[in-house]
Amino acid sequence: MAIEKVFVANNTSVIQEEVLAHRLGLVPLKVDPRLFEYKSESDLANEKNTIVLKLDVVCSRQDGRIKNATVKSEQLQWLPNGSEYQIEKTSKTYTSFSCSQETLPALKDNPIASRYPDIILAKLRPGQCIELEAHAVKGMGKTHAKWSPVATARYRMLPEVALLENIRDSLAEELVEKCPVNVFDIEDLSRGRKKAVVARPRDCTLCRECVLGDGWDKRVQIRRVKEHFIFSVESTGALPPDVLFLESVKILEEKCQRLLVELS
């Protein structure tokens, strides 16, 4: 869910409406998109496909101190009953809610708000104000980045670090110091002797610092497991990474099934 339409009633700040609308669209919302339906251009905005948020901030000077100079995302207020603005020359509002969204079980105890309360939207001077309504709908990342719940997704092959011989005492200490990501540890042996062990092979970045130097390539070997990949998914906050991964697998499964049907 992301803000798609912004209805500006008053804006006396230095930020243009287009820029402000763009900033609002990129604010992650704390709401599960699976609770809502997709909205097409012909559909009416209702409680099943639209979320309405209100922003009404006035910067003032009180007792020599400036109040509300910084407009933050926490000041976005959820309107569970829909739009409060009337369409020009009519008595209708911009939404047609049949019931309040607060009555939905999933939203009753989890009110909709910005995922991060401290995102700066604008800065005002005394006397300036911003008054608007923002309507959020469900969308996909391929249409616009604001609908992508993933900030960064990457993968790499699983690294495999092997010790070709026992590395002990001073050589063990040298190996531990050579690795910048602490892949190796020292294991204490009897009679005060020490031995190097591979403690955290997943942390290896394949920088090859451990095999640089005279004879180290014969003591340590770095390989990649070709059939094992490590995926890292960073969420924007709309959904947790584990949910994002499971939902993406479901979508991929559906696409594969449709392709098999078309080919059969």
Phi and psi, residue 223, nearest 5° = -135, 170
Q: What is the pLDDT of residues 90-121, one digit of tens each?
A: 888 999 999 899 888 888 888 999 999 999 99
Q: What stretch of H or E contains 250?
A: helix 241-263
Separation between Cα atoms, residue 79 and residue 112, nearest integer Å: 9
Look up residue 154 and give its DSSP letter: E
Specify the pTM.
0.78
Q: What stretch of H or E contains 228?
A: strand 220-235
12: tokens are 């006396």
- Pick the closest to residue 68 from 128, 115, 15 (CA basis): 128
Q: Which pLDDT value is given to residue 152?
A: 86
List residues bridging with 78 in a β-sheet.
Answer: 53
CB 117 within 8 A of CB 31: no
Q: Which pLDDT value is given to residue 191?
A: 80
Q: What is the pLDDT of residues 27-84, one digit of tens each?
A: 999 999 999 999 998 899 999 999 999 999 999 988 888 988 999 999 999 999 999 9
In this predicted structure, the answer to whether residue 129 has a pLDDT above a threshold of 90 is yes
Separation between Cα atoms, residue 239 and residue 233, nearest integer Å: 11
Q: What is the pLDDT of residues 145-190, one digit of tens each?
A: 999 999 888 888 999 999 998 888 888 899 999 899 999 999 888 8
